[in-house]
Chain A
Amino acid sequence: MNVIKGQNFRLLTNMGAGSIAAVPEETNVSITLTGNTEDTTTKDTEGMFSQEDIVSTAWSAQVDTYQADPEQLKAILSVFIAATPIAVGWDQTAGSQNSVAQNANFKRSGQALLNDFSMQFDDRAIVTTSLQFQGTGALS
């Protein structure tokens, strides 16, 4: 069985322009798919267990990066200020270097709002960013 390792899973965005591509220097990625349910239990239901039905779905994504390039930091700010959805998705890579995509069946993408970001500039060598996306609409 082919195991998908952590580093083989990457978040993609177009940061508001161009084609969708891997987020530069990303580290941790998480995607959350949510099925919102409603209890459809009625008087006709037998037993005590609730009868959950998915009435809506939602998705969100979060990625941490090392991003010291000033132009990349500006791009994040631009997307945040625009407050309009951008392309966000994910796929799987062949190796650990996030460069070669594989397994097209695994790839998904959609539109999402950058609804939270933070940039941390410490007193040492690292600039880290954390981006949270709220998906809007369906994934394809």
Chain B
Amino acid sequence: MKGQYYRLFLSTAANPDKVIAAAKTMSLHGSLQTQESSTKDTTGDALEYEAVGQSYDISGSALMVHTDDTESTVEGMLLEDFIDWVKNQSLYWRICLCNSVNNRTITREIAYGTCKCTQLQMQGQNRQNAQFSYTLQGVGKPTICPPGDYCTLFVTKHVPFSSSIDVGKLVVNQFLRDIEIVGISINDTVQTCNDVAIAISNGNYYLIGTNTEHGITSPKGVVNGFVTYPDEQPLNATVYVLFDGTYYTIDATTGELEPYSF
């Protein structure tokens, strides 16, 4: 849980969640506006204060790397993205704890909210290491994420033909929260497979359907560990999620999220 493990992710409604590429520093700052609330009724001479306003901002710096920089292999949000994205757009921010320095796999999500970029500054020298710095002014109240590991949804298929397909990234990109698994469709009419599991990376595994339940099923039960399949055939599964009153499907292969009506 070192400093460099904490990363800032940004997105807009139209652009996916991106970590700040080649980030150097990042800080979260908040302040209360207080006013003295002592009155003639106050006992003693100690002043009393109350909070009357709140604000926060995020600032940081990163090296300037570019999409056409053939030497750069750093993925993430670049200065070009900032310039394109900050045209009076609301940005969504998240501060997450990743599992290693260079791996952007999120293990804990700390907080998220909405902000606007109020300043971009580029600093260049007569040498390399050009940097830019940014200031993001928070809009409204940030949300603190619940304790525990970050939940990543993924669909499991049977080994050895498949590996876990991470659709959690898609979920993050769409800023979906409080996802409820409502069913699963198994488009497999030939192979005999037993159970399909959706796993959440905090250790809970939800058994949500079997191959005998073609179409929508809704049993949700916690099982201890991954469900294994008796055969070794790949499974083509569709996951349905419910968010904000709308059902979506997630294609386990492409990761596309589509509104769905039953």
Contact = CB atoms under 8 A, between A and B. Distances in A.
Interface residues of A, number: 40
Contact of B144 (A74, A83, A126, A137): A74
Interface in B137-152: 141-142, 144-145, 147
B26 A121 contact: yes
Interface string A59-73: 100000000111101
B4 A115 contact: no
A115 B51 contact: yes
Nearest to B141: A81
Contacts of B38: 56
A123 B97 CA distance: 13
A24 B6 CA distance: 19
Given A83-B51, A114-B32, A77 B46 contact: no
Contacts, number: 117
A68 B51 contact: no
B47 A123 contact: no
Interface residues of B, number: 38
B259 to A, nearest CB: 33
A138 B82 CA distance: 48
**Which 6 interchain pairs have the tightest Cβ spacing?**
A138-B46, A83-B51, A68-B1, A115-B32, A121-B6, A118-B29
Interface of B: 1-4, 6, 23-32, 34, 37-38, 44-51, 54, 56, 95, 97, 108, 110-111, 141-142, 144-145, 147
6 contacts: A80-B54, A84-B51, A115-B34, A121-B6, A122-B24, A136-B50
